[in-house]
Structure 1
Amino acid sequence: MEGQGDSFEFKATNHGDVLLAGLRHLRDKQQLFDVVLVVEKQKLPAHRVVLASCSDYFRAMFTDGLKECHQEEIVLSGVTAKGMANLVDFAYTSKSNIDCDSVVDVLGAASHIQILPVIAACEDYLKKHLSLDNCVDIANVAELYTLKPLEQFVFQFMCKNWHEFCSCHDFHRLRKSQLLKLLKSGFPVDCSELDIFLSILNWVDHDVEDRHDCTLQVLDKVLFENISLQELQSVCHNSVFKDICSKVPGLSKLINSFINTTECTKDCEARVPGSITCPNLCKCIARKSVPGIGNLRGFQQTVLVAGGFSNETGMTSSVWYLDQSSSLLKHLTKIPHVDQCNFGMAAHNNKLYVIGGCFNDQMQEIVHPFGFCYDPAEDSWKSIAQMTLERCRFVLGVADGYLYAVGGDPHASDIQMEGAPCERYDPRTDRWEEIEPLPGGRTQHAGTTLDNRLYICGGFQEDEGVLDDLWCFNADSNQWERGSSLLVPRADHAMFTHGNKIYVIGGWYYDPNTRQRVMASSIDCYDVDRMTWETVGSLNESRLYATYTLLNNVIHVVGGWRNGKYRQKCRSIDKFDLDTRRWTKDQDQDLELWEHNTCCLYLPKSLSY
């Protein structure tokens, strides 16, 4: 026969379904059974090969030479008949019927014999049906079967609803170990730290005879630095607190030592009998508070990086955050708009505002006036009112509860004026209003806020070149007031405040003789009271289109072109400590970024879980 050497591979696409249907048919006809599972005296006949194909537990039992290899009946302990019957059905049908009456039985059996898809299905069911009435029970289930993701999900729910949860009967059912894990979970709460403190006192009081020994251990997880002294003093008059103090030696002394301490040293530490230490109670610092966040529990301040250009996608609308533990940039969210650069970005009441900017359309730069607001607590965006003008390469500053849009590319709009057009946004009314123009039109300038007043310096003007002036906006008079000129002109630079002074860093200017671009290398500081500038440091390397952001007294330098050269992209995040005046270099990032934007924001720690 001609063509005997030819061959082809035939593959039946429905073979798996046919095989499963065949196995079901054998089961329905009670044919070829070779094993019987006995659970709570109920017998469940099955085929060994079916059980072993979907369970590592049975595969090991039937193939590793165990005694069960030769037993016709196998007694299973530690599971229920209801749960195991459900799993045998799953083995033959790929379906598992899960409801509130069966989910714990099915989960227990699936965990015992390690059928992972069913375990995941039970976890999803419990997450979807989580409520204040059952959250403690689900936490117990998660702990029993070592389901860490489910346990964290429950803890996050409890924290998010702490105000209501702590008033429920189930709150008092929490065991000491659970309450400790809950307080250490790092999730944001919907109440003040004082409420956390009071709820713990009520938890102790609910069973004070059994819980008084662990009171100080649990209170060690209270963030007393987030409670004002006035609030703490009010607790001392609380009847529950007085009753617990009578049964917990040293508690009253600890609280009073915190209230009465006016000076604290590094060695300051309050101790109670039994060598139990509760160092949080003697932290003599003012209550930490951030506008827009009721309680800092579960939040961590970090650097956000947004938009611009990256080596991975070109122009981008991605937003990354600097993970403090790994020092790596990790993806957070995306601006709900086209990929863009040269927009204004600022944080106000711990919300991120991204406004204006430009994008490319068929090689043409398009400037827009649209604005967006990101709430990290809800991980959500919303649109805000658009500016009266289209802007890019402008300053978006925050002062006195308003967002200020100052200057920008003069080609972005048809408005002609001698100064730089300015407007401000009121988040409370979602409206923009024009304010006095900044003298001298400009783009690529910088701004910052000190004592609730907006400062602007430098920038580029087509007729004048790179500028060296400094201006302060007086909101009361709606006027710009002139300050002392910069030590060197700057464009594409950064400006921030530290202590009671203003700093400028980075940028470039033109050499007055050669008209060549020169990278500004000095870090200059401005004393507002004396109206004087001084140089306090220098860059470890010059970068063009980089950003400079202050976090915890440390300047973080992100992205840019080394020495202004396009082919020399910077991957490392360099840091300059303003206290020690020293530079350090972090590990290289996977990302190369330029013409992006950065600012600081408090993010829920749970975002990195």
Structure 2
Amino acid sequence: MVSIGEFIYVVGGRLCEYMVPTDNQIVRRELEVRRQVLRYNVRENKWYKCASLIVPRFDFACVVIDGKIYVAGGKRRLSTAMGMASAEVYDPALDEWQSLPEMSTSRHKCVGVAWQGKFHVIGGFAGNNGCIGNMERSSAEVYDCERSCWNLIIGMWQLDIPPYQIVAVDDKLFSSGDCLNSWKGQIEAYDWNQNIWSEVDGSRFEALSATKFVTMAPAGPELYFLAGRRMPDQPSRMTSAVHVFNTSANGDAWRSMEPMEEDGEKELCSHCCVVILRD
């Protein structure tokens, strides 16, 4: 899911069916991998269909650069454990997708971020010829849109566990967890010169540790964390909260919004995105 102007685009993904048998345990059944692309107009509150992906995919990297949507990697079948190396780009003005050169290795559960004008595909379960190696999983592939080519960066992600989210703020990259633990207790920033991730001063925040889900979105110099958790004494109720970290602050960088309580359990299947409406 990404945004361009006043539109939100929902690209590809998995179609799942949820059932509640007699034991009241929710069961998820995966049905298919989608090629469909939907566009939501925030001002009009309406959905529209766009041209479909060339290749159906889920668990892929997706970014916006210069008003175009870039996707890479992911899986095209439910039954396989291997990812893809293919990539494509969508032009909203033409409503069409075009194939891009393939990455050097197949990847799924990789993270995409637009940084320094290039498409960064970071981490993921990666490998070639059926072999998945630690070196590939901790690497990144960078697509140069002007030169139409990929470059491999070894060790850009320090773990062989795929990242959960990586966002860019003021030409810096920030991460808060991996696919096994969406909140690791602190925010980390990437140092391009040393090729390492380091803890951001003042970013430790215990309030996010007990949450059931956390997703992060940048807006200006701030990182917004949308979180939810079960009520300890009422498992059928959820508490949703928003916590904000100011990356440019010197001390007291965290602030929190008033939490909301809701009936029923929610599942967060994707990430959020930011839409800035201008008059």
> Which category describes the TM-score, using the shorter chain as reference length?
0.7 to 0.9
User: Within 5 Å, which residues of 2 pair with 1:495-574?
Assistant: 495-508=166-179, 520-528=184-192, 531-536=195-200, 537-540=203-206, 541-542=208-209, 545-559=213-227, 571-574=240-243
2:93 matched to 1:428? yes
2:274 matched to 1:600? yes
Q: How far does residue 493 in structure 1 lie from its aligned partner after superposition?
A: 1.2
Gaps of 5+ in 2: 20-28
Work out the CA distance in 2 between the residues paired with 1:346 and 1:523: 22
User: Equivalent residue for 2:70?
Assistant: 404
Work out the CA distance in 2 between the residues paired with 1:433 and 1:480: 16
Alignment equivalent of 2:145, drawn from 475, 499, 514: 475
User: Within 5 Å, which residues of 2 pair with 1:31-70?
Assistant: none
Equivalent position amino acid for 2:276 in 1:
Y
SS of equivalent residue, structure 2 residue 77: helix
Any conservation in 1 of the 2:58–2:76 contact (CA below 8 Å)? Answer: no
Work out the CA distance in 1 between the residues paired with 2:269 and 2:52: 22
User: Equivalent residue for 1:285?
Assistant: none
Q: How far does residue 604 in structure 1 lie from its aligned partner after superposition?
A: 7.0
2:30 matched to 1:364? yes
Q: How far does residue 380 in structure 1 lie from its aligned partner after superposition?
A: 2.7
Work out the CA distance in 2 between the residues paired with 1:539 and 1:471: 31
SS of equivalent residue, structure 1 residue 477: coil
Per-residue CA deviations over 1:528-564 (Å, capped at 9, x if unaligned) read 46645432144533456521111232211113569xx
Any conservation in 1 of the 2:182–2:214 contact (CA below 8 Å)? Answer: no
Q: How far does residue 588 in structure 1 lie from its aligned partner after superposition?
A: 1.8
User: Within 5 Å, which residues of 2 pair with 1:314-325?
Assistant: none
Equivalent position amino acid for 1:546 in 2:
V
Any conservation in 1 of the 2:174–2:190 contact (CA below 8 Å)? Answer: yes
Label 1:444 to 1:522 Cα distance change in 2 as closer, same or farther (>3 A). Answer: farther
Work out the CA distance in 2 between the residues paired with 1:480 and 1:595: 29
Q: How far does residue 518 in structure 1 lie from its aligned partner after superposition?
A: 9.6
2:8 matched to 1:347? no
Q: How far does residue 496 in structure 1 lie from its aligned partner after superposition?
A: 1.1
2:120 matched to 1:446? no
Equivalent position amino acid for 1:493 in 2:
Y
Any conservation in 1 of the 2:14–2:30 contact (CA below 8 Å)? Answer: no
SS of equivalent residue, structure 1 residue 594: coil
Q: How far does residue 397 in structure 1 lie from its aligned partner after superposition?
A: 0.7
Q: How far does residue 460 in structure 1 lie from its aligned partner after superposition?
A: 3.1
Between Structure 1 and Structure 2, the one with more strand by share is 2
Structure (1 or 2) with the larger CA radius of gyration? 1
RMSD: 3.3
User: Within 5 Å, which residues of 2 pair with 1:80-99?
Assistant: none
Work out the CA distance in 1 between the residues paired with 2:150 and 2:119: 10
Per-residue CA deviations over 1:130-181 (Å, capped at 9, x if unaligned) read xxxxxxxxxxxxxxxxxxxxxxxxxxxxxxxxxxxxxxxxxxxxxxxxxxxx
Per-residue CA deviations over 1:30-52 (Å, capped at 9, x if unaligned) read xxxxxxxxxxxxxxxxxxxxxxx
Label 1:431 to 1:352 Cα distance change in 2 as closer, same or farther (>3 A). Answer: same
Equivalent position amino acid for 1:485 in 2:
M
Work out the CA distance in 1 between the residues paired with 2:48 and 2:243: 33
Number of aligned positions between the proteins: 249
SS of equivalent residue, structure 1 residue 398: strand
Between Structure 1 and Structure 2, the one with more helix by share is 1
Label 1:350 to 1:435 Cα distance change in 2 as closer, same or farther (>3 A). Answer: same
User: Equivalent residue for 1:391?
Assistant: 57
Equivalent position amino acid for 1:426 in 2:
D
Per-residue CA deviations over 1:23-79 (Å, capped at 9, x if unaligned) read xxxxxxxxxxxxxxxxxxxxxxxxxxxxxxxxxxxxxxxxxxxxxxxxxxxxxxxxx
Label 1:387 to 1:508 Cα distance change in 2 as closer, same or farther (>3 A). Answer: closer
Equivalent position amino acid for 1:549 in 2:
A
Any conservation in 1 of the 2:75–2:84 contact (CA below 8 Å)? Answer: no
User: Equivalent residue for 1:579?
Assistant: 248
Q: How far does residue 398 in structure 1 lie from its aligned partner after superposition?
A: 0.8
Work out the CA distance in 2 between the residues paired with 1:364 and 1:508: 19
Equivalent position amino acid for 1:594 in 2:
L
Q: How far does residue 473 in structure 1 lie from its aligned partner after superposition?
A: 0.9
Q: How far does residue 478 in structure 1 lie from its aligned partner after superposition?
A: 2.2
User: Within 5 Å, which residues of 2 pair with 1:17-166?
Assistant: none
Q: How far does residue 574 in structure 1 lie from its aligned partner after superposition?
A: 2.0
Any conservation in 1 of the 2:75–2:82 contact (CA below 8 Å)? Answer: no
Label 1:417 to 1:480 Cα distance change in 2 as closer, same or farther (>3 A). Answer: farther
Label 1:518 to 1:553 Cα distance change in 2 as closer, same or farther (>3 A). Answer: closer
Work out the CA distance in 2 between the residues paired with 1:389 and 1:460: 19
Work out the CA distance in 1 between the residues paired with 2:164 and 2:66: 24
Q: How far does residue 406 in structure 1 lie from its aligned partner after superposition?
A: 1.5
Per-residue CA deviations over 1:574-599 (Å, capped at 9, x if unaligned) read 22221236333322223545223201
Any conservation in 2 of the 1:377–1:604 contact (CA below 8 Å)? Answer: no
Q: How far does residue 452 in structure 1 lie from its aligned partner after superposition?
A: 2.1
Q: How far does residue 423 in structure 1 lie from its aligned partner after superposition?
A: 0.9
Work out the CA distance in 1 between the residues paired with 2:254 and 2:204: 10
Work out the CA distance in 2 between the residues paired with 1:440 and 1:539: 36
Equivalent position amino acid for 2:77 in 1:
H
Label 1:521 to 1:456 Cα distance change in 2 as closer, same or farther (>3 A). Answer: farther
Label 1:593 to 1:555 Cα distance change in 2 as closer, same or farther (>3 A). Answer: farther
Equivalent position amino acid for 1:507 in 2:
D
Work out the CA distance in 1 between the residues paired with 2:179 and 2:70: 24
User: Within 5 Å, which residues of 2 pair with 1:298-313?
Assistant: none
Structure 1 length-normalised TM = 0.37
Any conservation in 1 of the 2:183–2:214 contact (CA below 8 Å)? Answer: no
Runs of 4+ in 1 over 6 A off after TM superposition: none
Percent of pairs identical after alignment? 19
Any conservation in 1 of the 2:5–2:276 contact (CA below 8 Å)? Answer: no
Label 1:458 to 1:398 Cα distance change in 2 as closer, same or farther (>3 A). Answer: same
User: Within 5 Å, which residues of 2 pair with 1:210-229?
Assistant: none
User: Equivalent residue for 1:240?
Assistant: none
SS of equivalent residue, structure 2 residue 159: coil
Label 1:440 to 1:559 Cα distance change in 2 as closer, same or farther (>3 A). Answer: farther
